[in-house]
């Protein structure tokens, strides 16, 4: 055990693997010292486990209707009550974790690399490329995100895929700004000039030497944005423009429960708690990550 | 002599920066229009088909296509679209069967009224909370305010609206329910500004005023929650920066009373950066009102937008997007300029 630790904390790592494992180990140690970050990690762990093991955890089927058990209040049989078709709300929330996870993952996978690349290209080449790309970025940034996403979904048509595309389209500009700012700080450094002298192509310099250095600040920002992405996705679901019934998407579930809110409060409120919990988890983790990866911005 | 030069110099600089402000704002507006144009004309596979339906004859199809000007090159279409927008021509809404521009003019005051009360509450609660948290930095008070502020980033607005309705309207009965006024008060006051509180106060009709306030207070407070969270968080962080400065230590060492250290020495310098935060927050409230208005059946622009969305009424959707986007951009730009005018260091 102690040798593994020594290997990880070695001041002069002998391989690339050892160096990167060592730095992630140091980061993890710093991260777990922050209690809120630990809570965030635990919440997200629960989310991932719930998504993977949904069929085992959920006591009932998320789609199976049982009209004999409509709108039952929370009980030992139905932990969070049942909805208007007699479906167990707890089971639906567990299965809904899958949808939430898919949405946030896909949005991150689409928008973060897009923003990174646009920002790095813009910062690296400068001049007109920079002006045009940042002009487009600024226009997107100056727009309210939710409204823009709504307009895109209106044109693309309702549905979970289109909701993901719309949210991704509205998320990338912030990442482009960040990675451009990072790129500007080292575009004239010696290691970049050295690579150029060695004959590396622009594409190689950007992908191999610039992007990796921008990644950590973008990761922090993506984690902090996750709460907003979840809220937007839930909002689209609530308006009937995101995931379509009978999918157990949390926002859509709240929308269904709206009709019964005065008498059967649990139908609409329970999925809301799930949304809050997961969003808070991302906020906590994002705050912790920022302190570790991006100490410059600490406290802001 | 030298003062003369510096005066004319300053004037020149003011004119230049004003010109720059107008140009940048205009360019951003055109960018905004490029986005709505793209959404309205480029993404739909066939805008003609969505108007005439798929059982139309070729002739009908061609007439509509010509009427929409779709036979022209895209860039010409875009330029004529910009011309239309600047003339206030936003097309016809298929769900209300009226011009979108006049619809928007009618619903916008309701949103403005709610967002304005929201930002007033947001500043009134958020700023003291932030200062309080900073003054008690690191204690449990600070922690509670911090978690409360993070909740503002994690609670869905529509959910909080529903919960608010259940608790304060249905169970406690403290406030009135959805809508702007009770049904028998509707249309009693002549709409002068469109802001119901001001109209009813001007008309001296206090029954309507109190009823309208009763309807407004819950959605506005829920909307305000989100700006309280944001403003408190930013105020706290600005205050912490200030309170860490050496002149604060000097003031404390001199024996200045603690409340004076906080409010006079600490708070005064952060008023200027707070303006930007409040501006951003106000603009965000206009956006947040979309969800709240849907929940509270509030006849504002957000409700108009969601009804249009559900009816696939693209002209109304794009018109509302344009207006909300334009107001958003304008508020952001103005708070940016205010910051520069008020803070001598940024000049």
Report how far residue B289's alpha carbon sits from residue A277's, in angstroms, rounded to the nearest whole number. 23
Length reported for chain B: 347
- pLDDT tens for each residue of chain A, 300 residues long: 567 788 888 777 888 888 888 888 888 888 888 888 899 999 999 999 999 998 888 888 888 777 777 777 888 777 788 887 878 889 899 999 999 999 999 999 999 999 999 999 999 998 899 989 998 898 888 888 888 898 888 888 888 999 999 999 999 999 999 999 889 888 888 888 898 899 888 889 888 888 888 888 888 889 889 999 999 999 999 988 888 888 889 999 998 888 888 888 888 889 999 999 999 999 999 888 888 876 555 444
> Do B110 and B299 meet the contact criterion of CB atoms below 8 Å apart?
yes
The pLDDT of residue B90: 84
Has residue A156 been placed in a domain?
yes
Cross-chain Cβ contact B166/A284 below 8 Å: no
Cα(A94)–Cα(A55) distance, integer angstroms: 9
Q: What is the DSSP letter of B156?
A: -
Total structural domains within chain A:
1
Q: Is residue A13 part of a domain?
A: no
Upstream peptide bond of A23 is cis (omega within 30 degrees of 0)? no
Nearest to B36 among A144, A151, A235 (CB): A151
The answer to whether residue A244 sits within a structural domain is yes
Q: What pLDDT is stored for residue A35 in this prediction?
A: 85
CA distance, residue B255 to nearest chain A CA (Å): 28
Contact B287 A254 (CB under 8 A): no
pLDDT band at residue B59 using 50, 70 and 90 as cut-offs: confident
Cα gap B272→B335, rounded to integer Å: 10
| Residue in B with minimal Cα distance to A284 | B150
Q: Which residue does chain A place closest to B307, by CA atoms?
A: A239
Q: With an 8 Å Cβ cutoff, is A152 touching chain B?
A: yes
The answer to whether residue A142 neighbours chain B at the CB level (below 8 Å) is: yes
Cβ separation of A147 and B321 shorter than 8 Å?
A: yes
- Closest to A88 in 3D by CA, of A67, A68, A60: A60
For B109-148, letters b (16+ CB in 10 Å) and e give bbbbbbbebbbebbbebbbebbbbbbbeeeeeebeebbeb
Q: Which residue of A has its CA nearest to B301?
A: A147
CA–CA gap between residue A184 and residue B169 (Å, rounded) = 54
The mean pLDDT value of chain B amounts to 84
> Is the Cβ of A141 closer than 8 Å to some Cβ of chain B?
no
Would you call B35 an interface residue with chain A, using a CB distance cutoff of 8 Å?
Answer: yes
Binary contact (A238, B156; C-beta < 8 A):
yes
In the stretch 211-250 of chain B, residues with CB closer than 8 A to chain A read: 237, 240-241
CB B137 within 8 A of CB B130: no
Q: Which residue of B158, B240, B324 is in closest CB contact with A254?
A: B158
How many Å apart are CA A141 and CA B276, to the nearest integer? Answer: 16
Q: Is B328 in contact with B283 (CB distance < 8 Å)? A: yes
- Which pTM does this prediction carry? 0.86
Q: Which residue of A has its CA nearest to B47?
A: A155
Q: Higher confidence at residue B7 or residue A43?
A: A43
Name chain B contacts of A239, Cβ cutoff 8 Å: 294, 306, 309-310
- Residue A68 CA to residue A71 CA, distance in Å, equals 9
Question: A38 in a domain, yes or no?
Answer: no
Of B28, B241, B325, Cβ closest to residue A147:
B325
A134 at the B interface (CB within 8 A)? no
Min CA distance, B262 vs chain A (Å)? Answer: 19
Q: Which of A34, A139, A274, A287 to mutate to test the interface with B (most CBs of B within 10 A)?
A: A139
Distance between CA atoms of residues B54 and A229, nearest Å: 36
Architecture of domain B100-346: Orthogonal Bundle (1.10)
Compute CA distances B23 → A143, B19, B27, B30, B83, whole Å.
17, 6, 6, 11, 17
Complex prediction ipTM = 0.85
Does the distance separating the beta carbons of B156 and A231 come in below 8 Å?
yes
- The residues with which A82 forms a beta bridge, in sequence order, are A88
Residues of chain B with CATH 1.10.3720.10: 100-346
> Minimal Cα distance from B284: which residue of A?
A144
Nearest-neighbour CA in chain A from B212: distance (Å): 23
Q: Name the residue range of residue A152's domain.
A: 50-298
pLDDT surpasses 60 at B45: no
Bridge partner list, B99: B92
Give the nearest chain B residue to A238 (CA atoms): B158
Residue A220: give its domain's CATH number: 1.10.3720.10
CA atoms within 13 A on the CB side of B223: 34
Subunit contact B166:A139, Cβ cutoff 8 A: no
- Measured distance between the N- and C-terminal CA atoms of chain A, rounded to whole angstroms: 38
Hey, are the CB atoms on B163 and A272 less than 8 Å from each other? yes
Residue range B113-160, pLDDT digits in tens:
899 999 999 999 999 999 999 988 888 888 888 888 888 889 999 999
* pLDDT at residue A300 in the model: 40
Tens of pLDDT, residues B158-208 = 999 999 988 888 888 788 878 777 777 777 677 777 777 788 777 777 888
Q: Are A243 and A237 in contact (CB under 8 A)?
A: yes
pLDDT at B268: 86
What is the per-residue pLDDT for A143?
83
The answer to whether the CB atoms of B294 and A239 lie below 8 A apart is yes
> Hey, is the C-beta of B23 within 8 angstroms of any chain A C-beta?
no
Q: Which residues of B touch A251 (CB under 8 A)?
A: 156, 158
CA distance B317 to chain A (A): 7
Q: Which residue of A148, A235, A261 is in closest CB contact with B156?
A: A235
The 3 state secondary structure assigned to A7-32 is HHHCCCCCCHHHHHHHHHHHHHHHHC
How far does Cα B82 stand from its chain's mean position?
23
């Amino acid at each position: 055990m102690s040798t593994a630790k020594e290997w990880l904390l070695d001041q002069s790592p002998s391989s690339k693997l050892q160096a990167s494992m060592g730095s992630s180990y140091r980061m993890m140690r710093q991260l777990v010292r922050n209690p809120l970050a630990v809570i965030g990690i635990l919440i997200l762990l629960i989310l991932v486990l719930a998504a993977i093991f949904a069929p085992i955890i959920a006591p009932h089927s998320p789609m199976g209707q049982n009209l004999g058990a409509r709108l039952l209040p929370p009980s030992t049989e139905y932990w969070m009550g049942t909805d208007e078709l007699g479906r167990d709300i707890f089971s639906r929330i567990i299965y809904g974790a899958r949808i939430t996870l898919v949405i946030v993952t896909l949005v991150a996978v689409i928008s973060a690399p897009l923003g990174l690349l646009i920002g790095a290209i813009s910062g690296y080449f400068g001049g007109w490329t920079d002006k045009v790309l940042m002009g487009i970025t600024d226009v997107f940034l100056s727009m309210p995100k939710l409204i823009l996403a709504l307009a895109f979904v209106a044109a693309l048509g309702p549905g979970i895929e289109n909701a993901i595309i719309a949210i991704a389209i509205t998320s990338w500009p912030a990442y482009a700004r960040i990675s451009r700012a990072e790129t500007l700080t080292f575009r004239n450094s010696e290691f970049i000039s050295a690579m150029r002298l060695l004959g590396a192509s622009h594409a190689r310099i950007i992908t191999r030497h610039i992007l990796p250095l921008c990644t950590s600040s973008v990761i922090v920002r993506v984690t902090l944005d996750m709460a907003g992405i979840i809220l937007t996705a839930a909002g689209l679901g609530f308006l009937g423009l995101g995931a379509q019934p009978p999918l157990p998407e949390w926002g859509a579930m709240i929308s269904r429960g709206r009709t019964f809110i005065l008498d059967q409060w649990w139908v609409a409120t329970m999925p809301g708690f799930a949304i809050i919990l997961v969003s808070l988890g991302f906020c906590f983790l994002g705050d912790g990550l920022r302190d570790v990866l991006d100490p410059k911005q600490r406290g802001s | 002599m030298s003062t003369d030069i510096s005066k004319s110099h300053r004037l020149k600089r003011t004119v230049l920066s004003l010109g720059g402000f107008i140009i940048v704002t205009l360019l951003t507006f055109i960018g905004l229009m490029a986005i709505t144009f793209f959404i309205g004309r480029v993404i739909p596979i066939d805008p003609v088909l969505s108007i005439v339906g798929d059982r139309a004859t070729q002739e009908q199809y061609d007439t509509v296509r010509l009427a929409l000007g779709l036979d022209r090159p895209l860039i010409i279409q875009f330029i004529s679209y910009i011309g239309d927008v600047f003339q206030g021509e936003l097309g016809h809404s298929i769900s209300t069967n009226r011009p979108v521009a006049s619809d928007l003019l009618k619903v916008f005051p309701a949103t403005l009224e709610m967002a304005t009360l929201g930002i007033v509450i947001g500043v009134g609660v958020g700023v003291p909370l932030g200062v309080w948290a900073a003054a008690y930095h690191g204690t449990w008070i600070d922690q509670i305010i911090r978690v409360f502020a993070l909740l503002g980033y994690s609670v869905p607005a529509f959910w909080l609206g529903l919960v608010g309705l259940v608790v304060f309207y249905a169970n406690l009965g403290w406030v009135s329910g959805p809508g702007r006024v009770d049904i028998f008060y509707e249309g009693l006051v002549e709409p002068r500004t469109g802001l119901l509180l001001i109209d009813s106060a001007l008309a001296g009709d206090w029954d309507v005023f109190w009823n309208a306030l009763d309807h407004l207070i819950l959605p506005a407070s829920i909307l305000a929650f989100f700006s309280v969270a944001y403003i408190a968080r930013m105020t706290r962080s600005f205050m912490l920066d200030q309170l860490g400065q050496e002149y604060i230590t000097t003031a404390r060492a001199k024996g200045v009373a603690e409340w004076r250290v906080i409010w006079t020495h600490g708070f005064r310098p952060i008023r200027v950066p707070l303006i930007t935060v409040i501006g951003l927050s106000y603009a965000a409230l206009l956006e947040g009102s979309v969800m709240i208005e849907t929940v509270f059946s509030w006849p504002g622009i957000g409700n108009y937008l969601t009804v249009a969305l559900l009816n696939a009424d693209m002209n109304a959707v794009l018109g509302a997007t344009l207006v909300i986007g334009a107001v958003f951009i304008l508020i952001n730009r103005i708070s940016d300029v205010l910051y520069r005018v008020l803070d001598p260091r940024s000049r």
